[in-house]
Structure 1
């Protein structure tokens, strides 16, 4: 046997091992086989473009949390998204794909690619996926509560996913290869129309998935159907998680992670940490056994649990108990709480997490609403009963409730109310002079109506605070009604030859216009503050703001430095959302030089546009923020993922006891 023979045999063996994935753990990043594409030109209305993007981003993040690597694209880049090495495409909100887009999708599936459709109205697309044309279907008996999966379902698929709706786009199997994987069910468990269907070309999901219900169930669902379409997804995901788990705590190996956490843990928590590390030992042994047999799909359950245990172990080794004095708040997007109908349970979780303040969204209060008018009725607020229960349950736990209200954005009021405001000249306009769904802060009637509405609500519902959001101008180019032109000329001393050309971006009077419109916003804040102090002086008044100052004055008119200096607010909440600690620190370093640090509550984006933080990242950002000796922190936002993953870790980090 000569050396050449052994060299050739080694090359062949390496090639074979690489093909079956045994060497993949030692290779560079696994190939990207999954694309997530959101509707843009395929939408019926461009008003839904941002929503389509946000839903696709949620799919992308959910897959990422499951260990599945993907790339996010708009449908304008569909050809690129479907190009090799892509083998699976999640097509999100492809309402009406064009003929050209359908050709690309058809070519992709004819070449062996798989598609998971997240809602569509297209009969042609449905036909390609082996289901009938979508038809709107209402539940005559009320609301469906979620979808129940069949007994025979893909590996790791949950048996139920919570998803409330009263209307779906109904489809049925069209071909013999198509079948129903899950059906809608109502509160009594009665089965309804199909919710998820499987076909030879992939899966069809009849409704856009929202970020509600069990976050872990959503993760397992998307991971299971993705791997059912392309089996190698399990192998790539398992090896990725195996590489990344220990890096969560800044280590490269399990032994390194153990040493790091034991070294930093307070003495009082060593026993609790040892128990969790012993559990990790068991899971790691089971994971190794699965890997040795090539059972990557089976290993995923161990890896998901290992990641959860690592994060909780890290929380045990942390301590934010003493640091978290002051405001420790969360934003909550529904007055129904996280457990609809059970505010005592929601309040208990908040209390166990250490939350002191809740900014609870209220949609029927503000400019354009009926609240605060002479004929206002408390029961006109749609969630009146839930709000009362929230206040009572939180107060019993020593938690303050603040009404989180959109100040100038009109998205929460009816189209008729928006039109009425526009007719009175109380809404901002776009370049064409068309009214935007945004109130003019300089209009005296808007100021009075907002203040009156807030006072009415606080007096009738007994909330501890008013927390305003959208106290700014919109990002798109906008202008005050041309009737305000004379006021601008008088205030600024500028003579306008062409309105709005002279005040547009790069217009000759743009800087003067930015200063003038910021003053109008200041006028609104000052007026509302004065009215609240006169009528409900005990009520805390806070405003969510952008963090980058003075850029936020130039771009959206937010001079929150002035609002803090004049003590118009008890505190501001700059939304310092960042994927890393350094980003939060940089913003806070600038902010404490601008405003009284005790009038600053740092907003941290746990689940935000900018990032999705795990519990370790959340804890580290909280600790970093509170080192600036500010008034507190506020976490965005309190949802089911927060309850499942963030709350247990915060409780451990604050109290050091088992969960």
Structure 2
């Protein structure tokens, strides 16, 4: 559900759903103890929808367009040649050659009908060096992608894999671009210089077969003539600090996305592949989050800096580099209270083009110290009341800038301007790049191709709506001013005006939309305390003002409650900040919103250590096949089932809520739970006295199907019991669940049989977490989900945290065209308040009453 993030937050830009083993709980620094992830994290196989499908059908990235030439043309003389090059995995049909639209292409058949394969996959052996490139690109055609939940691309290297997901935007030819900065790691890959296998997979979405075609697989980006910036990705973390690997990927991806959005060309370089020869072509190296660094890599960077190179670092700087850049680094500092590090304030005039204030809600920072006479503090930290904290946010010298935390994605527009200004401070040439790129793509929103096309289409969409034309006129004027500044060489001014023009065009598009009556419109709110910097009254008032009808606040986990509970441990913050359920409920009643209290089931998250250890000692935690335990309650343990039931019924009994909402109502992945208790209880269930454990219940084992049925029943038993008991306590209460989008896969892999829950009337509505930036994928999912939900309302989850407002509007429109009757957006946080909610309230959710948002 949301980037939670609890289950919601996740990762990258497209389907974030509960991504892979993205757990809702703590990730090592610099992530906060309850990292927001997409609501449900999928496991590698269940992958609901990737946080982001890291590639777009039409590439809009600012990768330098140097090409390595063709890696795989797709042009083979015979089927035999093609099949020798592309080997199918077990159960997958072989490739063949074809001619499509005059091109020689490879045909990949996805034989889902009549088979049990989870995915159709093919391997291609190569000797490939992508170390000097930003990514790969290929032409892709799939006339009917609806049977596929998502596509994946893998590179095998060292002792692991790099992976990314994608989905076509049209039923015709798509140009897919995958940026290696956004690829996840599995195992211990050895860098992009030594790739030995390319794997392409199509994951089953339904039992219908389909096919896709591929042509012209090529490397793109990298060290072009205008590439001044290099991002150093910390791939060594996967080998030496695996706990940091996910954070490394997350912050590297976030930085790359912001460089693209700002219009700055860059190259991504692995710290496993860094050489002096590569750095010789760059002016600036950026460290997005590099908790470890090989000695030889640090030595290359020292040589680079001494030779005139520049450095921009986030949340850390290797000790060997500090004397070269004249910046000292101290220890990690945590705020005395929540909101202690809330904003960055720049010293005016020191960093040209920097915004005065930038929102950044950091949970810890690294102490930075200027060297007198050689470096200085250029920005300071403020708390959430706007008061100085006495800590430096950014320190700069003649050849380096150090930022005391990672780059977060809150306050995204100011964050992007800050990144551009810091980069421009070190490499002034990037201002022209950014201005040119921003002007060139002005008007590319909501599928429009350019500025004039967008203006004409929005004007037509608006019809008699008089609120739209003033914004279009302002956008035209600002665009003309940007062009004039560009011609005069005032590149920072040109970039600023072009950004303002884009904002006006977006506002015009938002105002051109119209609401419909009777729609269920909700936000998931991952934080139990609502939007940071607001009380619940303010947060709920804003939702009502912008036409929303419900809130789903995350107020309890498997081992923690944010209200006085007699069943679960209570968060210590309840003592100082009060009963959060009571406060949210009061605000909802005041402003007329429904409240559906969201529980993270089974996952212990930030539960007190003593509570977790007591459960561990009692054998109540889950284990994988290797015997490793995690902080999830075992769903087959009777006492755990009782705890889940009692905690949710307590909410219904004590508070007059409109509904209760399941999340994480599943196993974490297909590798759980194999604890000793599960073994005993399953053997008793099937009436045997001995098993080869866990082989007999794994794929190919004699008891596999009985095992899958039993796992599903453990989850469904709790859903049924809570549904029945809650309605007995409060007959009007609504029962709902956030679920993985692909029911056929979810029922086996994670034991989430939500189609059955709908069929048996245990749910009053269901919310599949369709976290994808692809509208085609989103629409295909919604159509299937409506069929699976049957008579139960299906309110699709929209992953707004990875999308621009125009894309959120587009997916709301898809829910209307599919007749869902509503939708739920993830996540209600400061970014949503600032960037998403106001744009929705201007048109597509605009309330028809007093207090309507201003234009």
* Fold equivalence (TM over 0.5): yes
Task: Look up the match of 1:516.
Answer: 710
Task: Look up the match of 1:400.
Answer: 594
Instruction: State the distance in 1 between where 2:508 and 2:400 align.
Output: 39
Match 1:98 to one of 294, 297, 305: 294
1:202-351 superposed matches below 5 A: 202-212=400-410, 214-267=411-464, 269=465, 271-319=466-514, 321-322=515-516, 325-338=518-531, 340-351=533-544
Name the SS for the 1:306 alignment partner. helix
Deviates more, 1:367-376 or 1:408-417: 367-376
The structure that is helix-richer by fraction is 1
Q: Is the 8 A contact 1:96 1:120 kept in 2?
A: no
Instruction: State the distance in 1 between where 2:839 and 2:769 align.
Output: 22
Match 1:642 to one of 832, 836, 839: 832
Q: Does 2:566 match 1:373?
A: yes
Q: Is the 8 A contact 1:336 1:387 kept in 2?
A: no
Shift of 1:63: 3.4
Match 2:246 to one of 29, 47, 50: 50
Q: Is the 8 A contact 2:230 2:285 kept in 1?
A: yes
Instruction: State the distance in 2 between where 1:117 and 1:195 align.
Output: 12
Shift of 1:339: 5.2
Q: Does 2:640 match 1:446?
A: yes
Deviates more, 1:627-636 or 1:82-91: 82-91
The structure that is strand-richer by fraction is 2
Instruction: State the distance in 1 between where 2:391 and 2:591 align.
Output: 42
Q: Is the 8 A contact 2:637 2:677 kept in 1?
A: no
Q: TM-score, normalised by structure 2?
A: 0.67
Instruction: State the distance in 2 between where 1:578 and 1:241 align.
Output: 25
Name the SS for the 1:354 alignment partner. coil
Instruction: State the distance in 2 between where 1:100 and 1:503 align.
Output: 47
Task: Identify unmatched segments of 5+ residues in structure 1.
Answer: 1-27
- Once the two structures are superposed, residues 512-539 of structure 1 have per-residue CA deviations (whole angstroms, 9 ceiling, x without a partner) of 4333212211122222222322233333
Shift of 1:652: 2.1
Task: Look up the match of 1:197.
Answer: 395
Instruction: State the distance in 2 between where 1:176 and 1:284 align.
Output: 42
The 1:547–1:83 alpha-carbon spacing in structure 2 relative to 1, beyond 3 Å, is farther
Match 1:577 to one of 758, 771, 778: 771
The 1:579–1:326 alpha-carbon spacing in structure 2 relative to 1, beyond 3 Å, is same
Deviates more, 1:445-454 or 1:383-392: 383-392
Match 1:435 to one of 605, 609, 629: 629
Q: Does 2:550 match 1:357?
A: yes
Q: Is the 8 A contact 1:347 1:394 kept in 2?
A: yes
- Once the two structures are superposed, residues 348-382 of structure 1 have per-residue CA deviations (whole angstroms, 9 ceiling, x without a partner) of 3211221111111225x434669643697798746
Higher relative contact order (CA 8 A, sep 6+): 2
Shift of 1:125: 4.3
- Once the two structures are superposed, residues 133-154 of structure 1 have per-residue CA deviations (whole angstroms, 9 ceiling, x without a partner) of 4223455688344332212332
Instruction: State the distance in 1 between where 2:277 and 2:633 align.
Output: 40
Shift of 1:569: 1.6
The 1:412–1:458 alpha-carbon spacing in structure 2 relative to 1, beyond 3 Å, is farther
Name the SS for the 2:585 alignment partner. helix
Q: Is the 8 A contact 1:626 1:633 kept in 2?
A: no
Deviates more, 1:130-139 or 1:559-568: 130-139
Q: Is the 8 A contact 1:273 1:313 kept in 2?
A: yes
Q: Is the 8 A contact 1:330 1:634 kept in 2?
A: yes
Shift of 1:179: 1.5
1:131-150 superposed matches below 5 A: 131-137=327-333, 143-150=340-347
Q: Is the 8 A contact 1:598 1:630 kept in 2?
A: no
Name the SS for the 1:355 alignment partner. coil
The 1:490–1:289 alpha-carbon spacing in structure 2 relative to 1, beyond 3 Å, is same
Shift of 1:428: 0.8
Instruction: State the distance in 2 between where 1:80 and 1:551 align.
Output: 47
What is the RMSD of the two structures over their aligned residues, measured on CA atoms?
Answer: 3.2
Instruction: State the distance in 1 between where 2:700 and 2:400 align.
Output: 50
Q: Is the 8 A contact 2:551 2:596 kept in 1?
A: yes
Q: Does 2:357 match 1:160?
A: yes
Task: Look up the match of 2:172.
Answer: none
Task: Look up the match of 1:551.
Answer: 745
Name the SS for the 1:247 alignment partner. coil
The 1:358–1:36 alpha-carbon spacing in structure 2 relative to 1, beyond 3 Å, is farther
Task: Identify unmatched segments of 5+ residues in structure 2.
Answer: 1-219, 848-852
Q: Is the 8 A contact 1:170 1:194 kept in 2?
A: yes
1:33-182 superposed matches below 5 A: 33-39=228-234, 41-42=236-237, 45-70=241-266, 75-76=271-272, 86-120=282-316, 122-137=318-333, 143-164=340-361, 167-174=364-371, 176-182=373-379
Shift of 1:196: 0.9
Instruction: State the distance in 2 between where 1:507 and 1:81 align.
Output: 53
Q: Is the 8 A contact 2:560 2:568 kept in 1?
A: no
Q: TM-score, normalised by structure 1?
A: 0.86
Aligned residues: 622
The 1:71–1:521 alpha-carbon spacing in structure 2 relative to 1, beyond 3 Å, is farther
